[in-house]
A and B are shown apart, each in its own frame.
Chain A
Amino acid sequence: MKKIAPAQIAIGLVCLIMAFGITLQIKSVKYNKAVNNADYTRAADLQALLRQEREKSDELTKQVIQYKDDLQEFKEQYSKSSDLSELYKKQLDRAELLAGLTEVEGTGVVITLRDSRKKSDILLDPNLNIIHDSDILSVLNELSASGAEALSLNGERLVATSEVRCAGPTVSINNNRYAEPFEIKAIGDSANMENALLMRDGVYDTLTAYGLEVNIKKTSKVVINRFNGTINYKYALPIVKEAQ
């Protein structure tokens, strides 16, 4: 027994190190896996944050609408006070109508654009089967050319500074992003606008040739929202002509 004592001590010591190492390793592997799982929990956290920010943004939008209503009230009160101010108000109303700052309604068309529902062809570029910013632009352009007075895309009023731009899988309009389906509302001569789109080899034919779904609906009453963003002109300044 005494003879093998040093061996026992050595083996015991080694066993201690082994047990320590193995346990530590198992613990660490478990811990590292938990860390990797943390990525998922982080995604959930970010989602919650996003939701919060969206709620905040919605509230702010409501506030903007409230302020605009207040402004409207002030204008009305002001216009009642004198004849000259009434004239100013008429001019302002007209300017707002032209700028897209008022909600408008009238006869027009509602066009819905959807990606192709057909099975994609291996030989063809799949990009041809989805709606792009250029497709939307061609429709909008055609509508403008045929006398549309007010245009909106997925509820975003198109004004002088509006962009329709590719933003990854979405399209950016007034710096807000929208995904397919796209609904274009246009106020104007509905028959005229429909004919312009349905022209032979026109926009409708071109888009449907790629399998894109274009649905044109004439309606007697189209309501188009006002522009909800803000425009600050920093660089374009009016030229003031001196009175002669």
Chain B
Amino acid sequence: MLTIIACLIIGIILALFSSFNVSAEISSYVAIAILAGLDSVFGGFAANINNNFKMKIFITGFFGNAILAAALTYMGKLLDVDIYFAAIVVFGTRLFQNFAIIRRYLLNKYLPDNAQKK
């Protein structure tokens, strides 16, 4: 947990002090890639809780989803169809599902329901 928080802080600091800026044109791709990445992160947490976390799946999912989401957005732009909605809906839904799993795990761990013997 500590390593995760440390990594988050390092990432934020790195971004804050970098002079690099995402240009307006590729901003939408980066945004959708971030959504895909967030989905993977939550998926990773959920998998870790369920004890079926696999490194290969996690890493490939993280980069693969991000790249695919950005590519879909680009294709949507070419076709004049807002395909990135698909990415938003799918990743958004999965994000909430994974969050639900994490939430249940945390609640059971720190605030165990006495009526439920589990």
CA distance A15 to B37 in the complex (A): 9
B residues near A126, Cβ cutoff 8 Å? none
Which of A10, A18, A25 meets B31, CB within 8 Å?
Answer: A25
A residues near B20, Cβ cutoff 8 Å? 24
B79 within 8 A of A: no
A27–B24 touching, CB < 8 Å: no
B residues near A17, Cβ cutoff 8 Å? 11, 37, 62
Interface hits, B1-56 → A, CB 8 Å: 3-4, 6-12, 14-16, 18, 20-24, 27, 30-31, 33-34, 37-38, 40-41, 44-45, 48, 53, 55
B34–A12 touching, CB < 8 Å: no
A21–B33 touching, CB < 8 Å: yes
Which of A19, A25, A28, A32 meets B7, CB within 8 Å?
Answer: A19
B58–A28 touching, CB < 8 Å: no
Which of B7, B21, B48, B58 meets A27, CB within 8 Å?
Answer: B21
Give the size of the chain B interface in residues (CB under 8 angstroms).
35
CA distance A16 to B3 in the complex (A): 10
Interface of B is mostly: helix
B residues near A166, Cβ cutoff 8 Å? none
B55–A7 touching, CB < 8 Å: yes
A25–B16 touching, CB < 8 Å: no
A20–B48 touching, CB < 8 Å: no
Identity of the chain B residue whose Cβ is nearest the Cβ of A28 in the assembled complex = B22
CA distance A13 to B59 in the complex (A): 10
CA distance A14 to B64 in the complex (A): 13
B residues near A7, Cβ cutoff 8 Å? 44, 48, 53, 55, 58
Identity of the chain B residue whose Cβ is nearest the Cβ of A36 in the assembled complex = B24
A61 within 8 A of B: no
A176 within 8 A of B: no
B residues near A21, Cβ cutoff 8 Å? 11, 15, 30, 33-34, 37
CA distance A1 to B62 in the complex (A): 24
CB distance from B8 to the nearest CB of A (A): 4
CB distance from B53 to the nearest CB of A (A): 5
CA distance A8 to B55 in the complex (A): 10
B30–A15 touching, CB < 8 Å: no
A29 within 8 A of B: yes
B24–A32 touching, CB < 8 Å: yes
CA distance A11 to B48 in the complex (A): 10
Which of A6, A12, A31, A35 meets B55, CB within 8 Å?
Answer: A6
B15–A23 touching, CB < 8 Å: yes
CB distance from A113 to the nearest CB of B (A): 48
Identity of the chain A residue whose Cβ is nearest the Cβ of B31 in the assembled complex = A25
A14–B41 touching, CB < 8 Å: yes
CB distance from B67 to the nearest CB of A (A): 13
A residues near B41, Cβ cutoff 8 Å? 11, 14-15, 18
A residues near B23, Cβ cutoff 8 Å? 28, 32
B21–A28 touching, CB < 8 Å: yes
A residues near B55, Cβ cutoff 8 Å? 6-7, 10
Enumerate the 6 nearest inter-chain pairs by beta-carbon distance, A residue then B residue, closest first: A19-B11, A23-B15, A28-B22, A20-B11, A16-B7, A12-B7
11 more contacts with CB within 8 A, not counting A15-B7, A25-B30, are A7-B44, A7-B48, A7-B58, A10-B44, A11-B44, A12-B7, A14-B44, A21-B30, A27-B16, A28-B22, A28-B30
